Chains A and B, each alone.
Chain A
Amino acid sequence: MEVLARIQFAFTTLFHVTFPAVTVGLSIFLTVVYAMYMKTGKPLYLQLFRFWRRIFGVGFALGVVAGAVITFEFGLNWGGYAAKTGPIVAPIIAMEVVTAFFVEAGFIGVLLYGDGRVSKKVMLVASSMVSLGTLLSTTWILAANSWMQTPAGFEIDGHGRFIPVDWVEVIFNPSFVWRFLHMLLAVLLSASVFIAGISAYYLVRNRDLAFARRSFSIGIGILAIVIPVQLSIGDHVALEVIGKHQLPKLEALEGHWDDSSSYNVAVVPDQDAQENPVALKVPYVGSFIAQDMTGQTAIPGLKNTPRDEQPPVWAVFWGFRVMFYASMLLFAAAFVSVYLRWRGRLFTSHRFHRFVLWLTPVGIIAIMGGWVTAESGRQPYVVYGHLRTADAVSNLATPELVATVVGFATLYVALLAIFLAYVRHTVRRGPARDHPHYREPDADDLADALTQGDPR
């Protein structure tokens, strides 16, 4: 029963995070690009705004409906959690709803449908407010989740309820600031590689080049600036935050059972036997992570943690490796892009464009891996060290759980398919029609194309 509830929540949150992973960054991109349009008057910027707004709109809607499921799932599947942590977690989510959701929702109508109805200034304000809403949303949700990871500022009453004692300590708990920064940069990265990848499609196909070059340059440029910072922040989160406050999670994500200074590239763990029957590892490199280049510092192994406190190693290890290896790919792309830009070949290197095209979803995948690490690594607790997941689940009959696991999984697959079809359709259609000077081809154009030969 607990397993089914966890599977359902995992499906819901992994499905949901796909959309903010694209829309938070896209909303900032839209605001910046519209501001550039107002400042320079160049129609290219309006074209960028109109085109990317299409994908933003549908992505945002899907994020909203999935988010509604999460809010209710807290009570539906996790009634024990809702009853006990409500006094602390629910007010934080309430702040998210009033300061972020309503701001986004209130202004998105104008952003998406306000063309011709509002002035340029109002459009810019609307776009900025939507961006602000997405940023505030990220802030509050990371505050709530971080409290679950490193709880602070509370006491537990006679009924097992968590009572807030100091709201400053609740919100600015030990992991909040660093995890928030890490997630903020993550969504910027995933959106920028999404933008770069789709732009690379046009570069590979040699079409809509003016649009594609500007989009690609912005996307891959942001990627290049942000990824080194993110790698550093991620390192800090792992060592300083997780290492200090959730050691079993660190042990699990490195995948060692006994203390070891080697680095596990890949493992197949056997938690019952407390060993890795299959392990691909590099000696001494583990010590580098602890910043000891002599190869003598060992990473602690899971056997340091009692078995009933150990998180599921396969999920934590592989979640982390997916995120880390994905970030290495992004770093490689960033590095190459800087070199190519310096050599003036950024827009002509088709092999690179094809590489980036394949990287389009990699930022999103990295974020999913990171969240799998964060939430699986938190097990067996839902409030770390204080409330076990098994004690938080709702008392439901197995058949009704199975029904909703299947029902929601089907819904998510369908919605994802719809989103992908919409993105594909929009990308193939292209940005030409979004250019302010576009006009439908007429008979003369057709005659010209036939007699002169279509350059495409």
Chain B
Amino acid sequence: MTEAWFAIVALCLVMYVLLDGYDLGVGIGMFFDRVDRSRRTSVEIVASVWDANESWLILLGVTLWAGFPEVYGTALPHLYLPLSLMLIGLAMRGVSAEIMSHTTDPLPRWYIGFSVGSLIAGFSQGVAFGALTQRIAVTPDGRYDGSAFDFLTPYTLLCGVAAVLLYGALGSAYLRLKTETAIAAAASVRGRWFLVGAIVATGLAGAFVATTDAPVHTDGGTRLVLVVVFTVIAVVGAAGALLALRRRSSDSRHDAWAYAGVALMTVSGLLAWMCGRYPVLLPEVATADETVSPASTMVFLLIGVGINMPLVLFYNWFAHSSFKGRFVLAEEESK
């Protein structure tokens, strides 16, 4: 049951990064987009789905809490400042997106709020994620015992930058998929830069994870195979995305490849990291089996959440499919 629940937590992480990754990425990309029509289109594309996408973050938090409560209660105080900053960024992003989508001609402050909020959220998430590789100071009875800035190291800052670049790549690739020629072409240019940066940054982060307190384990044949396979798939995804973003045609197959490639790179990269990391949840302090909730909780969770997961995936699919196809700004202005 421990593995099954860890798989659910992992699913939430992957879904979150894929989905909110692109809409935070759209916000981050907006710093480099000065064309009014393009900016308004980007906001409209994100407006109808940011809530559903962000909900995966809530589910990630709650599934981690429910399955591994001591991890939640100890890791979060360690990540206090980056996660608090993330929440403020997400609030800025959400309210800006909502106000803009109800207005015909939004004031510049909302675009700024949307972009800055997305950037803060993305960067903080990367830093927090990187800080999970650190050994967390705990008291003998398991309470957090570190200081406020333990999380702040060159490695975690690198992870913050990597997240921003990766989200930017996801966002640009998504815009390439959802907009028509002129806007898609500009998004592709931005996407190339973001992707190259993301490949370098995530590559460095992956390489240097060996120097952290939570290195990738290479014991056991299956684990090594999985890590290598996922890493290779990630590289393939990255290469595919680079190729797709080089294409200037509006052949829609290549548009889909761009997002698919970055998504594949992201998912495989995360899976490689998780396979190499499991079962260590709190480095040098706790493994999954040591901190898992009692059986009566896990049974309730696996049934309650397990049954609802297909429905949840359906709702997300429905939200996206209701707005499928390329987005064009409505000509009539009565909003």
Asked if A98 and B47 make an inter-chain contact with CB atoms under 8 angstroms apart, the answer reads: no
Kindly list chain A residues whose C-beta atoms are within 8 Å of the C-beta of B83. 72, 76
A114-B72 contact in complex given A67-B58, A91-B301, C-beta closer than 8 Å? no
A4 within 8 A of B: no
Asked if B66 and A404 make an inter-chain contact with CB atoms under 8 angstroms apart, the answer reads: no
* Bound Cα distance from A167 to B314, whole angstroms: 28
B296 within 8 A of A: yes
B48 to chain A, nearest CB (A): 3
A169-207 CB contacts (< 8 Å) to partner B: none
A57-B81 contact in complex given A72-B76, A79-B73, A118-B322, C-beta closer than 8 Å? no
A283 within 8 A of B: no
* Bound Cα distance from A88 to B80, whole angstroms: 24
Asked if B90 and A68 make an inter-chain contact with CB atoms under 8 angstroms apart, the answer reads: yes
Contact with A along B45-65 (1 / 0, CB 8 A): 001110110110111011101
Kindly list chain A residues whose C-beta atoms are within 8 Å of the C-beta of B54. 64, 68, 105
A98-B312 contact in complex given A71-B61, A396-B148, C-beta closer than 8 Å? yes
Q: Which residue of B lies closest to A96 (CB)?
A: B62
* Bound Cα distance from A331 to B52, whole angstroms: 38
Q: Which residue of B lies closest to A412 (CB)?
A: B91
A70 to chain B, nearest CB (A): 9
What's the dominant secondary structure at chain B's contact region?
helix
A76-B80 contact in complex given A81-B73, A97-B55, C-beta closer than 8 Å? yes
A74 within 8 A of B: yes
Q: Which of B72, B77, B81, B101 contacts A86 (CB 8 A)?
A: B72
Q: Which of A69, A164, A422 contacts B300 (CB 8 A)?
A: A164
Contact with A along B239-257 (1 / 0, CB 8 A): 0000000000000000000
Q: Which residue of A lies closest to B320 (CB)?
A: A109
Q: Which residue of B lies closest to A67 (CB)?
A: B58
* Bound Cα distance from A72 to B76, whole angstroms: 8
* Bound Cα distance from A60 to B57, whole angstroms: 17
Q: Which residue of A lies closest to B292 (CB)?
A: A87
A89 to chain B, nearest CB (A): 8
A80-112 CB contacts (< 8 Å) to partner B: 80-88, 90-91, 93-95, 97-99, 101-110, 112
A64-B73 contact in complex given A395-B144, A422-B99, C-beta closer than 8 Å? no
B41 within 8 A of A: no
* Bound Cα distance from A74 to B73, whole angstroms: 8
Asked if B322 and A117 make an inter-chain contact with CB atoms under 8 angstroms apart, the answer reads: yes
Kindly list chain B residues whose C-beta atoms are within 8 Å of the C-beta of A105. 51-52, 54-55, 315, 319
A404-B51 contact in complex given A83-B74, A106-B315, C-beta closer than 8 Å? no
Asked if B62 and A93 make an inter-chain contact with CB atoms under 8 angstroms apart, the answer reads: yes
Asked if B296 and A86 make an inter-chain contact with CB atoms under 8 angstroms apart, the answer reads: no
A445 to chain B, nearest CB (A): 16
A104-163 CB contacts (< 8 Å) to partner B: 104-110, 112-114, 117-118, 157, 159, 161, 163
A165 within 8 A of B: yes
Q: Which of A86, A103, A167 contacts B73 (CB 8 A)?
A: A86
**Contact-residue bracket for chain A:** 35 or more
* Bound Cα distance from A57 to B47, whole angstroms: 11
B294 within 8 A of A: yes
Asked if A88 and B334 make an inter-chain contact with CB atoms under 8 angstroms apart, the answer reads: no
A90-B51 contact in complex given A68-B57, A433-B334, C-beta closer than 8 Å? no
Q: Which of B81, B296, B305 contacts A94 (CB 8 A)?
A: B305
Asked if B73 and A61 make an inter-chain contact with CB atoms under 8 angstroms apart, the answer reads: no
B326 within 8 A of A: no
A75-B73 contact in complex given A65-B90, A106-B316, C-beta closer than 8 Å? yes
Q: Which residue of A lies closest to B44 (CB)?
A: A113
Q: Which of B57, B301, B323 contacts A109 (CB 8 A)?
A: B323
Q: Which residue of B lies closest to A418 (CB)?
A: B95
A278 within 8 A of B: no
Kindly list chain B residues whose C-beta atoms are within 8 Å of the C-beta of A415. 91, 95
Q: Which of A78, A81, A94, A157 contacts B66 (CB 8 A)?
A: A94
A449 within 8 A of B: no
Interface residue ranges, A against B (CB under 8 Å): 54, 57-58, 60-62, 64-69, 71-72, 74-76, 78-88, 90-91, 93-95, 97-99, 101-110, 112-114, 117-118, 157, 159, 161, 163-165, 167, 394-397, 399-400, 403-404, 407-408, 411, 415, 418, 422, 433, 438
Closest 8 pairs (CB-CB, A-B): A86-B69, A106-B315, A109-B48, A83-B73, A75-B76, A90-B66, A82-B73, A79-B73
Q: A102-B315, A167-B296 known; 7 other A-B pairs, CB under 8 Å?
A: A75-B76, A79-B143, A86-B66, A97-B58, A98-B304, A98-B311, A108-B52
Contact sample, A vs B, 27 pairs, CB 8 Å cutoff: A64-B51, A69-B91, A76-B83, A79-B72, A79-B76, A82-B72, A86-B73, A87-B296, A90-B65, A90-B297, A94-B63, A97-B55, A97-B58, A102-B312, A103-B315, A106-B319, A107-B318, A107-B319, A109-B319, A110-B319, A112-B48, A161-B69, A161-B294, A164-B297, A394-B80, A407-B88, A411-B88
